[in-house]
Structure 1
Amino acid sequence: MTPKRKPLNTLGYGFIRDEYLPEGADEYYFRNQQQLTEYTYRQLSADEVAILTRNGNYSPNWGDVWVTDRFLPEQVQQSTFYGRVRIGDMEESFLDFRDLHLPIGIYNSVIVSSDIGGYNAIHNVRYMAHFILGEEVMLFNINEMETSNNAKFGNGILKEGDAESSLIQLELCNENGGRAVLPFEGMQASDVYLWTRQRHDRLLQSRFREITFRRFDTRRGYYSVVCHRTVIKNSDIIKDVKIGTDAYIKGVNKLKNVTVNSIAEAYTQIGEGCELVNGIIGHGCRIFYGVKAVRFILCSFSQLKYGARLINSFLADNSTISCCEVLNSLLFPAHEQHHNNSFLCASLVMGQSNMAAGATVGSNHNSRGADGEIIAGRGFWPGLCVSLKHNSRFASYTLIVKGDFLHELDIRLPFTMVSHDVANDRIVILPAYWFLYNMYALMRNNGKFISRDRRSLKNQHFEYDVLAPDTVNEAFTALHEIEIAVGKTYHPEAGDPAEWGAKGKAILADATMDLREKEIVLDGVENSKRKVVLIKVREGYNTYRRIIAYYAATQLKAYLNTYSFAELRADYLSRSGRMERAGFENVGGQLIRKPDLDDLLEHIRSGELAEWEAIHHQYHLLSSRYLTHKFEHALATFLEIHDLEKSALTPAYLDTCIAESVATKQWICGEIYKTRAKDYQNPFRTMVYENDEERDIVIGRLEDNAFIRQQQDEYERYTESITGIRPI
């Protein structure tokens, strides 16, 4: 393509071609609807034109430069105006922001058919076309600011006359695009999760597309917007953008087809060397130092920094990615990935995760085609230099020890440590590892993620507790898996999983049997012929049972702090039928009962929920009911783990179980202290310090550890609150 010559007096006009104009409307139709300020404009006086000309300004049509009665022509210098330009109020003052002091006015700039809000400071903007600026905006040293007449601001939509091939999609969870979704402003991780699942359900998938397309106006002619008090400086290309209030953008190479959400209470900052294309950025985000992001959504209070590459991916709230590369991935809230040599591709990671240096998770180079996937429950933690193969699936809080795992994995036991025993060519699984050997790190996560959740409106409940319906259900699965593995090891002739499970359960209950005398193998874990061996089997099994009982007892105690046992009986125990433990699904960080999720999807299919706002309202409604659903799950869990019928549950039995929960709470506190104390007692940990005094100065005294003290205080409060069950 080559440049075309056109008359100078047409520059700034004809933004919307006639065939795309609404009947009876001119090219300023949408521009007038987008106004950020309410001003009464007038044309320039002859004196004002004379002053502007004397100050080195030029316009081929001064009659189309409109101003307010508070216009100061002296504060417009060495600038050029084309098309209809409207300038808001001015005064003899300057704007001061972080050591940048700029006089209000327009200096050394080219302005094409734009609206300049009141009290703006615009300096050295070499070209700005079809923009609307709010109040007290600062623009300094910018090469190019322009808008296409079919601008979409990062949303996956088509404007009139657009080719279908230009539709922006996020190709998530799979590199072949088979799980692609259409991005839109306001999109939540829950929306994306639902959309990327159920791909065989053509009606549901078509509903998602219809709802998204209906959300937007397909007509051309919307201007880019920079809202009140936003500062943009020392940047190159700003094109097709919608930027909220109070944002701070400095030194970017390119912002193109992007929405930047920002408000004073949660302002977004974008820094040096960034190139962001086809994306949507949430409130309170931080993006700086060479970030490259293409086809992406970054949710509120998340960060991209230090050269991170985020491509075809969705990063949910309160997450951080720095240095590394992430492709085609859907990441739930509280994801952490900090190291330059980690790689994440074609993955669904369900939050509260931490990617170590050297981890290559989801690389399709070890598969036949670019169509593999990784699915990891929350708390996923691949260790240093871990390489995984498609397709693989991991239960919540799986820790993977350094190694190249050359075969697909299906880890169904939560809180486990998975290691590659190279010498014996086998996989080793230590069940309930986190509770047995690293309680400090595990339980610290509960408070850490809550404190990092900076959302001002928490109308969608994100579950951060390590013990919740999803992980407890997985723990029940682990009990069943271990029982079958033990039964099969000792009675291979039985040949039936149910019989193996029953025999294994009896063996695990018999403390006189030493399970170390046999190699206990877990089937269906790795797609290979080598063994997957369980270690610390009875310890892990009993720990699962203990944490399940603890979860149930603490939830019941919380209920009985407010209600009596008689109310428990009337509201729950007197219901007919057996109380079933419900399944829960992690839907973008929010746990939803599977029957409720099925109802939600059915309402979308039927068209009853026809807007994303209505779907979001259902998330919020389910969030408001979550604690009740969690309690009902805990009650069913209590009956199941203790093998009780509802009629057998008495206040005395509950008192006993709650007393046992006190002992478990004490055990948790003791393990938290013990696992942290290792860093003060192990000679290999302490050898880098001259003495104990230097160690305590560098890492702090163990006795002063805030988390340990907090946990001890919680234990003491929990113990003091045990007063016995009120029968009526």
Structure 2
Amino acid sequence: MDEYRNLTPAEIQRLEQNGCSCDNWVRVFVKDRFDPSYVSKSHFSGDIRLGVFEKEFHLAGGLRKHSGIHCAVIHHCRIGDNVVIENVQNYLANYDIGNDCFIQNIDVLLVDGKTTFGNGTAVNVLNETGGREVHITDKLSAHFAYIYSLYRHRPQLIARMKSIIDFYCEKHASDRGTVGDHCMIVNVGYIKNVRIGPYCKITGAMKLKNGSINSNEAAPVYIGRSVIAQDFIISSGSRVEGGSNIHRCFVGQACELDHHYTASDSLFFSNCQGENGEACALFAGPYTVTHHKSTLLIAGMFSFMNAGSGSNQSNHMYKLGPIHQGIVERGAKTTSNSYVLWPAKVGPFSLILGRHYQHADTSNLPFSYLIEKDNTTYLAPGVNLRSVGTIRDAKKWPERDKRKDPNRLDFINFNLLSPYTIQKVFAGVEILKNLQKTAGEMSEIYTYQSCIIRNSALKRGLRLYEIVIHKFLGNSLIKRLENTRFTSNAQIREQLKPDTPVGLGEWVDLSGLIAPKTEVENLLQDIEEGRITKLKDINTVFRSLHENYYTQEWTWAWDKIQRFYGVDRETITASQIIEMVEKWKSAVVSLDEMIYDDAKKEFSLSFKAGFGADGNIQDQAMDFEYVRGAFDKNPFVVATLKHIEDKKALGEELIHRISAIKEG
């Protein structure tokens, strides 16, 4: 560590000649190679530490600027090596400035008293009036926030979690702020009680107050022009720019808020995008995306969600105020001008079309369409399984993971099909069969949760649900038996035995993390009973659950295989497995063919309207092809056809590998 020393009389004289002043030069300490010629027209007070000024900054356009301090008032600060600080309109106070920072044309940068830098801020998520508030921290994960906001029926758990947060906040509280190494802060207005991580770039922001910007070298943070942020935490790799205004918000890793987006009392977790619109009391789980000026997301919980223009919700019924909330489970979409009156709960991977006022709970009818007709919600179960958009979404999410930070806060499971969704499919089959049994198979319509299900939609839903059950269970079975040569049924039975008993029963989606409910319950009990007392230990459990997903998935799938296909683990044979694989092949191929047909619709003549504006039909077709490409060459279409062939081959390979095994 470099030693600091007092200024020499010659250095003090040179500083004063350069227009500098100080309340007490004895309290200014510098490094040995300090050169006073690079400090001018500045005033110092309090305890000051100054580094060396030996390097130049190379700026855009070819300009070079030597490190130094010019035209600034600096109080009680520690300045690192090779820093530019100039044109500070007010003052810098109580900050440790890292090495190689560039700070120019700012109003004020100060810490006033002891602060937690946004940690511990209460965000009134899901309910504007409070009751589900999440106290944010630097290490907040979507999974922690999910439990903390929704498990209010366990007050001892919430009290313990709050004490864990309080401990973290107190541990990181300080009366001094930091600006990490290699930061750039240019043309910025008011910054108060903000901790700024290394490699952060802030240009043109208007006001930043009481927050943490958790930038680092691997995943820098960018704060852009006209941004206003108060009581906030912004995580690594995120961008907040374009006049966005956030108040009491947590912004997770690799999020983007832009084009005047406005948010209050909201949580945005990994890879969320918000542009133009507005959020209030929003729980935006991973990959919640909203791009439109007319879109308001309020008092709702979403994840892997794309909001259409004009999407809106209401969180009150005009009597007792904004006390209601909604949950839209993973993978749902809203179309343009959709509306939902909370309270409501929508099942995973559903599509919401039109305006819905019935407070329905469709959580056990996944992959559905909710369609408004004559102010009534019509439900089409399972139909989203055959949509090309659903499959495209599932493929794009992992490809669009922009997180660069090796220390990830959220543990995200991208799987379209999982024990979580398939358990809901099983529940959906039971619901639909019970409706048939109660109202009769010949009934034209069925009523469920104030929704109307047509007879044809119900039968189609049952077919689609059966197909996807075959697909998921077959996927798990084939994966379990791959890359192994078997000579007997006994060897197959041994291979099919789960590696762990963990995984049986219900599974939950903790806003991106899919895990057995039993293991989540164990975690909650450990917190309640004081066995886990630190945020990092809770996150370690989340990590472990994520890493053990596939091992535990097989435990669940194997149990369901035995029940669904009526096989026994002690007597199952190769021929029974072959029967299951054949059903799997048929399911996969039929589902892919539906998706293929759905994709083909986008290349039909009606979809070419607007192309070839001033020509004939031939020009229209050619213009469409030059812009959108030919159907048979479309990358997704090609991938779908290849998927059909690959899956057929995979099934045939397993059948061939075990077909010679004799019964017994």
Per the normalisation by structure 1, the TM-score is 0.84
Q: Deviations over 1:19-39 (max 9, x none)?
A: xxxxxxxxxxxxxxxxxxx43
Does the residue aligned with 1:680 lie in a helix, a strand or coil? coil
Q: Is the Cα–Cα contact under 8 Å of residues 328 and 347 in structure 1 kept in the other structure? A: yes
| Aligned AA (2:629) | G
What displacement does 1:366 show?
A: 5.1
Does the residue aligned with 1:262 lie in a helix, a strand or coil? coil
Note the residue ranges of structure 2 that are not aligned, 5 or more in a row.
613-618
Q: Is the Cα–Cα contact under 8 Å of residues 199 and 220 in structure 2 kept in the other structure? A: yes
What displacement does 1:110 show?
A: 1.2
In structure 2, which of residues 438, 442, 446 is the aligned counterpart of residue 521 of structure 1?
Answer: 446
**Residue of structure 1 in register with 2:430 after alignment:** 480
Q: Is the Cα–Cα contact under 8 Å of residues 188 and 588 in structure 1 kept in the other structure? A: no
1:263-302 pair list within 5 angstroms: 263-302=216-255
Is 2:308 the counterpart of 1:387? no
Does the residue aligned with 2:116 lie in a helix, a strand or coil? coil
- Give the direction of change, closer, same or farther, for the CA distance of 1:388–1:270 in structure 2 (3 Å limit): same
**Residue of structure 2 in register with 1:250 after alignment:** 203
* Mapped partners of 2:479, 2:171: distance in 1: 52
Q: Is the Cα–Cα contact under 8 Å of residues 196 and 214 in structure 2 kept in the other structure? A: yes
Q: Is the Cα–Cα contact under 8 Å of residues 367 and 389 in structure 1 kept in the other structure? A: no
Q: Is the Cα–Cα contact under 8 Å of residues 95 and 138 in structure 1 kept in the other structure? A: no
Is 2:522 the counterpart of 1:599? yes
**Residue of structure 2 in register with 1:502 after alignment:** none
**Residue of structure 1 in register with 2:615 after alignment:** none
* Mapped partners of 2:554, 2:336: distance in 1: 38
| Aligned AA (1:150) | K
- Give the direction of change, closer, same or farther, for the CA distance of 1:196–1:297 in structure 2 (3 Å limit): same
**Residue of structure 1 in register with 2:98 after alignment:** 134
| Aligned AA (2:627) | V
- Give the direction of change, closer, same or farther, for the CA distance of 1:576–1:137 in structure 2 (3 Å limit): closer
**Residue of structure 2 in register with 1:353 after alignment:** 305
| Aligned AA (1:86) | R
In structure 1, which of residues 220, 223, 230 is the aligned counterpart of residue 176 of structure 2?
Answer: 223
Is 2:660 the counterpart of 1:707? no
What displacement does 1:218 show?
A: 6.4
Q: Is the Cα–Cα contact under 8 Å of residues 150 and 220 in structure 1 kept in the other structure? A: yes
- Give the direction of change, closer, same or farther, for the CA distance of 1:683–1:273 in structure 2 (3 Å limit): same
| Aligned AA (1:68) | K
Q: Is the Cα–Cα contact under 8 Å of residues 183 and 198 in structure 2 kept in the other structure? A: yes
* Mapped partners of 1:375, 1:153: distance in 2: 30
* Mapped partners of 1:250, 1:602: distance in 2: 46
1:12-27 pair list within 5 angstroms: none
| Aligned AA (1:373) | Q
| Aligned AA (1:307) | H
Compare 123-132 and 92-101 and name the one that shifted more.
Answer: 92-101
- Give the direction of change, closer, same or farther, for the CA distance of 1:111–1:211 in structure 2 (3 Å limit): same
Is 2:156 the counterpart of 1:183? no
Q: Is the Cα–Cα contact under 8 Å of residues 358 and 450 in structure 2 kept in the other structure? A: no
Is 2:117 the counterpart of 1:153? yes
What displacement does 1:43 show?
A: 1.2
**Residue of structure 2 in register with 1:433 after alignment:** 383
* Mapped partners of 2:604, 2:500: distance in 1: 56
In structure 2, which of residues 351, 365, 371 is the aligned counterpart of residue 413 of structure 1?
Answer: 365
* Mapped partners of 1:227, 1:660: distance in 2: 59
What displacement does 1:345 show?
A: 1.2
**Residue of structure 2 in register with 1:35 after alignment:** none
* Mapped partners of 1:268, 1:643: distance in 2: 54
| Aligned AA (1:441) | G
Compare 96-105 and 440-449 and name the one that shifted more.
Answer: 96-105
| Aligned AA (2:620) | N
**Residue of structure 1 in register with 2:402 after alignment:** 454
Does the residue aligned with 1:217 lie in a helix, a strand or coil? helix
| Aligned AA (1:108) | C
- Give the direction of change, closer, same or farther, for the CA distance of 1:631–1:427 in structure 2 (3 Å limit): same
Q: Is the Cα–Cα contact under 8 Å of residues 382 and 400 in structure 1 kept in the other structure? A: yes
Does the residue aligned with 2:134 lie in a helix, a strand or coil? coil
| Aligned AA (2:564) | I
Does the residue aligned with 1:364 lie in a helix, a strand or coil? coil
Compare 717-726 and 445-454 and name the one that shifted more.
Answer: 717-726
Q: Deviations over 1:110-149 (max 9, x none)?
A: 1111011100011212211111111100011101111021
What displacement does 1:657 show?
A: 2.0
What displacement does 1:649 show?
A: 3.2
Is 2:602 the counterpart of 1:672? no
Q: Is the Cα–Cα contact under 8 Å of residues 209 and 231 in structure 2 kept in the other structure? A: yes
What displacement does 1:462 show?
A: 1.6
| Aligned AA (1:428) | Y
**Residue of structure 2 in register with 1:444 after alignment:** 392
What displacement does 1:53 show?
A: 1.2
What displacement does 1:410 show?
A: 1.4
What displacement does 1:534 show?
A: 5.4
Note the residue ranges of structure 1 that are not aligned, 5 or more in a row.
1-37, 157-167, 491-506, 508-514
What displacement does 1:576 show?
A: 14
| Aligned AA (2:166) | F
* Mapped partners of 1:433, 1:84: distance in 2: 68
Q: Is the Cα–Cα contact under 8 Å of residues 75 and 92 in structure 2 kept in the other structure? A: yes
| Aligned AA (2:588) | K
Is 2:161 the counterpart of 1:208? yes
Is 2:330 the counterpart of 1:378? yes
| Aligned AA (2:263) | L
Q: Is the Cα–Cα contact under 8 Å of residues 459 and 623 in structure 1 kept in the other structure? A: no
Q: Is the Cα–Cα contact under 8 Å of residues 39 and 88 in structure 1 kept in the other structure? A: no
Across the aligned residues of Structure 1 and Structure 2, the Cα RMSD in angstroms comes to 2.4
**Residue of structure 2 in register with 1:536 after alignment:** 457
- Give the direction of change, closer, same or farther, for the CA distance of 1:674–1:218 in structure 2 (3 Å limit): closer
Per the normalisation by structure 2, the TM-score is 0.92
Q: Is the Cα–Cα contact under 8 Å of residues 173 and 328 in structure 1 kept in the other structure? A: yes
| Aligned AA (2:645) | E
What displacement does 1:98 show?
A: 7.7
What displacement does 1:562 show?
A: 3.8
- Give the direction of change, closer, same or farther, for the CA distance of 1:99–1:265 in structure 2 (3 Å limit): farther
* Mapped partners of 2:75, 2:411: distance in 1: 46
Is 2:657 the counterpart of 1:724? no
**Residue of structure 2 in register with 1:583 after alignment:** 506
Compare 93-102 and 143-152 and name the one that shifted more.
Answer: 93-102
* Mapped partners of 1:704, 1:574: distance in 2: 42
Q: Is the Cα–Cα contact under 8 Å of residues 52 and 76 in structure 1 kept in the other structure? A: yes
Does the residue aligned with 1:522 lie in a helix, a strand or coil? strand
Compare 117-126 and 650-659 and name the one that shifted more.
Answer: 650-659
* Mapped partners of 1:99, 1:660: distance in 2: 66
Q: Is the Cα–Cα contact under 8 Å of residues 50 and 80 in structure 2 kept in the other structure? A: yes
Identity among equivalent pairs (%): 22
* Mapped partners of 2:499, 2:211: distance in 1: 53
Q: Is the Cα–Cα contact under 8 Å of residues 182 and 212 in structure 1 kept in the other structure? A: yes
* Mapped partners of 2:88, 2:181: distance in 1: 18
Q: Deviations over 1:509-562 (max 9, x none)?
A: xxxxxx5xx322133345xxxx55454221221110110111010111011104
Is 2:550 the counterpart of 1:624? no
Is 2:56 the counterpart of 1:93? yes
Does the residue aligned with 1:289 lie in a helix, a strand or coil? coil
**Residue of structure 2 in register with 1:160 after alignment:** none
| Aligned AA (1:635) | W
**Residue of structure 2 in register with 1:545 after alignment:** 466
- Give the direction of change, closer, same or farther, for the CA distance of 1:386–1:534 in structure 2 (3 Å limit): farther
Q: Is the Cα–Cα contact under 8 Å of residues 369 and 383 in structure 2 kept in the other structure? A: yes
| Aligned AA (1:522) | T
Q: Deviations over 1:336-380 (max 9, x none)?
A: 11111111111122x111111111124436564211010111012
* Mapped partners of 1:219, 1:336: distance in 2: 32
* Mapped partners of 2:503, 2:20: distance in 1: 77
What displacement does 1:96 show?
A: 3.3
| Aligned AA (1:724) | L
Is 2:623 the counterpart of 1:694? yes
| Aligned AA (2:382) | A
* Mapped partners of 2:260, 2:268: distance in 1: 16
